[in-house]
Amino acid sequence: MSGIVLTAYPGSILGPVAKFLGWIMNGIYNGISSITGGRVESVVLSIVIVTIIIYMCLLPLTIKQQKFSKLSQKMQPEMQAIQAKYKNKKDQASMMAMQQETQMLYDKYGISPMGSCVQLIIQMPILLALYRVFYNIPAYLDGVKGSFTNLVTQIQSTSGYTDTLGELMSKFNFTTSSGLTSSNVVDKLSNASGDTLSNYIIDILYKLPSKGWDALLDGKYFDGLQSSVESTHNALQHFNYFLGLNISDTPWYIIKNNFFAKDKPEMWLLIGILALLIPVLSYLTQLLNIKLMPQASNGNDQMANQMKTMNMLMPLMSFFICFTVPVGLGIYWISSAVVRGLQQFFVNKHIENLDLEEVMKKNQEKAKKKREKRGISEDYIRQAANIRTKSIDAKANISASADNEDKLAKAQSMKSNAKAGSLASKANMVKDFNERNSRK
């Protein structure tokens, strides 16, 4: 890996994870090539295999998360009962008692309020790092990077190559994974040297769209290097194409340049349709994932509506974004969605067959042992809950009596201080007259 890390994602958190996953993918790529005697060198196949491996490793976390979701649904009625019991009670004793009963409920079902978050915290860096690997393949697959070495050396020996590469990027308007654009490429190449310079040029060649390679083959750029360009392009077609699609191109670029091609229109139309299928399949597989996921019912209509909206928007976002990212990333999204869908189908079957009462019993035993380690007994918890509940009721009664006495005192004060001629003073006169007559 030491020879290819310079083009790798440099992030302090995701960078090391991406390098490790890239090392796995590099081993898969080289292993497939070795087993097939060099006949199969496929980036797409490596993407699919490493995606399957990663999601199989994450399967225990997925099952744990689904158990959490199922138990959370089962405990919702009891949670809502606790919330109703302490509704509108904002004093400290009530808040503490509610917190205590809520914690006892979580212990009863053996789950944690942060349970689902922990699973996501573990999974997200892995999946995001995997995304970085697929976005910058030559940084992690030495076989892919090595295919460009000879051409890169010859380009560097060409006079004015930095301006030629700048013109090439400006003509075909693309950005590399190392941040090179048509506006900064000349400056960055001029200030780079050694491996960094070579890696920059490899990034440009790998992200170069199909029409750009056609221009190189025609000698419009770097005339005299056609032999090396052809050799590199043949290798690129061997490992970087899937059903006629260059996985470095975006679906939108392929559609825009192939649907209305004048030469061989039938072939280019077919390639354009295949490119369109990438975002369509991404949308459908994401939708399938959402259908298979268990839907939480927590009694909160607003939250349920928000989740429903998110479930509608996420596949649509995947559909539109997929037009603008390389085909290789689209294939990753599709393959990962298919793998997750298959996993979810079997996980759902597993969860349906679980004896939740037995799971709860085991979880309660675990929670009891943890409390005992902290020196908290079961009797103490029950007594504390009862004392706090009685304390709350007593304080509520005292508070109500005090409120009534305050109201009576205020009424008496207003009565004795009524102004002459007011309705209150006239009412007092009538009351006094009635009282005197009643004593006669």
Q: What is the pLDDT of residues 234-293, one digit of tens each?
A: 888 888 888 888 887 888 888 877 666 555 566 667 888 888 899 999 999 988 888 877
φ and ψ at residue 242, rounded to 5 degrees: -135, 115
Rounded CA-CA distance 95/103 in Å is 12
The mean-pLDDT minimum among 53-67, 147-161, 336-350, 394-408 falls in 394-408
Residue 397 lies in a domain: yes
CA 68/CA 149 separation, integer angstroms: 51
Is 55's pLDDT higher than 80? yes
Inform me whether the pLDDT recorded for 101 exceeds 60.
Answer: yes
Structure confidence at residue 397 (pLDDT): 46
Distance CA 297, CA 326 (A): 38
Pick the more confident residue, 385 or 108: 108
In a domain, 413, yes or no: yes
Question: Is 241 strand, coil or helix?
Answer: strand
Does the pLDDT of residue 301 top 80, yes or no? Answer: no
Within a domain: 262: no
At residue 114, the 3 state secondary structure works out as coil
In the chain, % of residues over pLDDT 90:
4
- The reply to whether 134 falls in a domain is no
Distance of CA 243 to the CA centre of its chain: 29
CA distance 99 to 285: 41
Helix extents (H) in 173-250: 185-191, 194-207, 210-217, 226-240
CA–CA distance from 303 to each of 300, 307, 310, 359 (Å)? 5, 6, 10, 28
Please state the domain count of the chain: 1
> In angstroms, rounded to a whole number, what is the distance separating the alpha carbons of residues 87 and 35?
67
Reply yes or no on whether the pLDDT at 5 is more than 50: no
* Model pLDDT, residue 428: 57
State residue 408's pLDDT score: 47
CA distances from 124 to 58, 131, 274 (A): 11, 11, 30
pLDDT, position 240: 83
- pLDDT tens per residue across span 205-232: 888 888 888 889 888 888 888 889 899 8
Distance CA 26, CA 43 (A): 10
**Closest by Cα among 289, 287, 296 to 317:** 287
Query: Residues 377-398: what's their mean pLDDT?
Result: 47
Whether the CB-CB separation of 328 and 44 falls below 8 Å is answered with yes
Across the range 76-90, mean pLDDT stands at: 82
What's the whole-number mean pLDDT along residues 68-72? 75
- CA-based Rg of the chain, rounded to a whole angstrom? 35
Give the pLDDT band (50/70/90) at residue 172. Answer: confident
343 domain-assigned: no
Average pLDDT over residues 69-77: 76
Whether residue 219 lies inside any domain: the answer is no
1 has pLDDT over 50: no
Give me the pLDDT at residue 379, please: 54
**pLDDT of residue 399 exceeding 80:** no
Calculate mean pLDDT across residues 186-198.
88
CA 40 and chain centroid, separation:
33
More confident residue, 418 or 14: 14
Residue 326 to residues 135, 214, 322, 334: CA-CA distances in angstroms? 8, 19, 8, 13
Look-up of token digits 């000349």: 186
Q: Which two tokens stand for residue 75?
A: 């405990």
Model pLDDT, residue 279 = 92
User: What pLDDT, on a 0 to 100 scale, did the predictor assign at position 238?
Assistant: 83
Cβ-count burial 47-64 (b if 16+ within 10 Å, e if not): bbbbbbebbeebeeebbe
State how far Cα 6 lies from the chain centre.
Answer: 27
Q: Is residue 429 part of a domain?
A: yes
* pLDDT mean across residues, the chain: 76
User: In the predicted model, what is the mean pLDDT of residues 416-430?
Assistant: 55
Sign of the C-alpha dihedral computed for residues 91, 95, 97 and 98 taken in this order = positive
Domain membership of residue 406 as a residue range: 378-439
Supply φ then ψ for residue 250, to 5 degrees. Answer: -90, 150
Instruction: Judge whether residue 394 has pLDDT over 60.
Output: no
- The pLDDT confidence band at residue 350, using thresholds 50, 70 and 90, is confident
Tokens of 403: 């409120």
Please indicate, yes or no, if residue 384 is contained in any of the structural domains: yes
Judged by average pLDDT, the poorest of 132-146, 337-351, 365-379 is 365-379
pLDDT at 414 over 60: no
17-21, 216-220, 407-411: least confident range: 407-411
Q: How confident is the model at residue 151 (pLDDT cuts 50, 70, 90)?
A: very high
Percentage of residues in the chain having pLDDT higher than 70: 72
